[in-house]
């Protein structure tokens, strides 16, 4: 049984959540765009101290148009109320599955695992890396894991300098510095190793 105090607390929390101007998910976005908006929403959740259950309920309330229609199709397949009671992690997985099949997600995961700098600039490589990283956060759960995985996408000339960074942002900055130095000397390589 839900108590009056819990209802009041949830209302206050939702008001705080809305006051932080969370993004709405609407239209027919790509999965990466959805994950960007979810990331913004998670920052709002942190500032509001939302519980796992509140995260799902509040996020569903931010779904609009086609995104909401897809969610309703999923929710209608579940027993009444079950969709809003799922954990935040389950909500995120279900949202991903609404936009990509399991095979698509496997392909995207493989792209992430096999991403190499090649002829891309560091900026392009970092963008591709971070976009795919958002889809599979469980593969890079710590800042050190992000740095290591990013460094392993680069030619060996970059490795030692990049791996000394303490954040992914610093690692990208270090890689850009190495890229600039190599270009100035005419030595840039594309192969990883």
Asked if 95 and 108 sit in the same domain, the reply is no
Q: Is residue 191 part of a domain?
A: no
CA–chain centroid gap for 154, Å, is 22
20 vs 76, higher pLDDT: 76
18 vs 113, higher pLDDT: 113
31-48 vs 4-19: helix crossing angle, rounded to 10:
120
Interval 37-47 mean pLDDT = 84
Q: Is 134 exposed, middle or buried (0-12, 13-18, 19+ CB in 10 A)?
A: middle
Asked if 72 and 109 sit in the same domain, the reply is no
Tell me which of 46, 66, 99 is where a domain ends. Answer: 99
Indicate whether 3 pLDDT > 70.
no
Tell me which of 99, 132, 161 is where a domain ends. Answer: 99
Asked if 88 and 151 sit in the same domain, the reply is no
pLDDT at 188: 57
* H or E stretch at 139: none
Asked if 67 and 89 sit in the same domain, the reply is yes
Number of domains in the chain: 2
Asked if 139 and 170 sit in the same domain, the reply is yes
> Are the CB atoms for 112 and 138 separated by under 8 Å?
no
Asked if 131 and 91 sit in the same domain, the reply is no
pLDDT at 29: 73
Per-residue model confidence as pLDDT tens digits over 164-185? 999 999 999 999 999 999 888 8
Asked if 161 and 117 sit in the same domain, the reply is yes
Query: How many percent of the chain have pLDDT more than 90?
Result: 29
Q: Identify the band that residue 43 occupies on the pLDDT scale cut at 50, 70 and 90.
A: confident
Q: The domain containing residue 145 runs over which residues?
A: 103-185
Asked if 13 and 65 sit in the same domain, the reply is yes
Tell me which of 99, 124, 153 is where a domain ends. Answer: 99
Interval 138-158 mean pLDDT = 92
Asked if 35 and 113 sit in the same domain, the reply is no
> Are the CB atoms for 107 and 115 separated by under 8 Å?
no
The three-state secondary structure class of 92 is: helix
Asked if 81 and 110 sit in the same domain, the reply is no
């Amino acid at each position: 049984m839900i108590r009056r105090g819990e209802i009041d607390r949830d209302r206050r929390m939702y008001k705080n959540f809305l006051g932080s101007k969370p993004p709405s998910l609407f239209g027919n976005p790509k999965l990466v765009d959805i994950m960007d908006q979810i990331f913004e929403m998670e920052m709002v959740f942190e500032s509001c101290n939302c519980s796992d259950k509140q995260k799902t309920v509040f996020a569903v309330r931010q779904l609009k148009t086609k995104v909401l229609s897809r969610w309703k199709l999923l929710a209608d397949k579940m027993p009444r109320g079950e969709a809003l009671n799922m954990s935040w992690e389950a909500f995120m997985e279900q949202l991903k599955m609404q936009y990509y099949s399991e095979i698509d997600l496997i392909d995207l995961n493989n792209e992430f695992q096999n991403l190499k700098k090649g002829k891309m600039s560091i900026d392009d490589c970092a963008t591709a890396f971070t976009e795919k990283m958002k889809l599979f956060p469980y593969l890079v759960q710590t800042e050190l894991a992000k740095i290591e995985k990013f460094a392993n996408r680069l030619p060996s000339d970059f490795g030692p300098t990049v791996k000394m960074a303490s954040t992914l942002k610093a690692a990208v900055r270090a890689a850009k510095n190495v890229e600039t130095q190599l270009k100035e000397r005419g030595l840039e390589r594309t192969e990883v190793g």
